[in-house]
Amino acid sequence: METTNLQNGKGMSRVNGSKASLDANRLIKGIKLALEERVKPYTNGKRGYIVSGDTDSYFVPESFDSCTCPFWQKHKETCKHMVAVRVYRRLELRVSEIQAELSAQYECQIRELEVKLRKVAEENLKLRTELEGFSLLREGIKKIISSS
């Protein structure tokens, strides 16, 4: 698990227990990549994520312990693509939580609306029955008037 502590625009990340510098620029670029929806899950053989960078796409495994980008290959430090995947994962989890909350709220609202709809249908049936009774009464009155 990676932890980040930013101080004065520079922070330290832990990747597999080793310290790696994470400057604010990479952090911001990674967040931007995630918010621009440039992170996509990848499950063809290896499990991880494809991050579309400024010029190329790079693979970050599900373990978050590496990246195929030149920066990671050279420095073995957290890159913007790894940050993007972390942000994406957190956003994905939060969206799932919100969807579950909304689903529960909508289920409750749907049940309430179904109850109201049943009441309206019952009232509609009563009114139709009364209307049919009035129609029969009117026809009866017409017959009485026409026979007199």
Q: Does residue 20 have a pLDDT over 60? A: no
**61: containing domain:** 4-99
Let me know if residue 90 belongs to a domain.
yes
Q: Is 71 a domain residue?
A: yes
Task: Please indicate, yes or no, if residue 52 is contained in any of the structural domains.
Answer: yes
Number of domains in the chain: 1
Is 119 a domain residue? Answer: no
pTM higher than the cut 0.85? no
Q: What is the per-residue pLDDT across 84-139, written as a single tens digit (0 to 9) for each? A: 999 999 999 898 888 888 888 888 888 899 999 999 999 999 999 998 888 888 88
> Looking at the domain assignment, is residue 91 inside a domain?
yes
CA dist 141 and 45 (Å) reads: 84
Q: How confident is the model at residue 18 (pLDDT cuts 50, 70, 90)?
A: very low
Indicate whether 31 belongs to any domain.
yes
For 44-87, the pLDDT digits (tens) are 888 999 999 778 999 999 998 999 999 999 999 999 999 999 99
In a domain, 131, yes or no: no
Residue 62 inside a domain? The answer is yes
DSSP the chain: ---EEEETTEEEEEETTEEEEEEHHHHHHHHHHHHTT-EEEE-SSS-EEEEE-SSSEEEEETT-S--SSHHHHHH-S--HHHHHHHHHHHHHHHHHHHHHHHHHHHHHHHHHHHHHHHHHHHHHHHHHHHHHHHHHHHHHHHHHHHH-
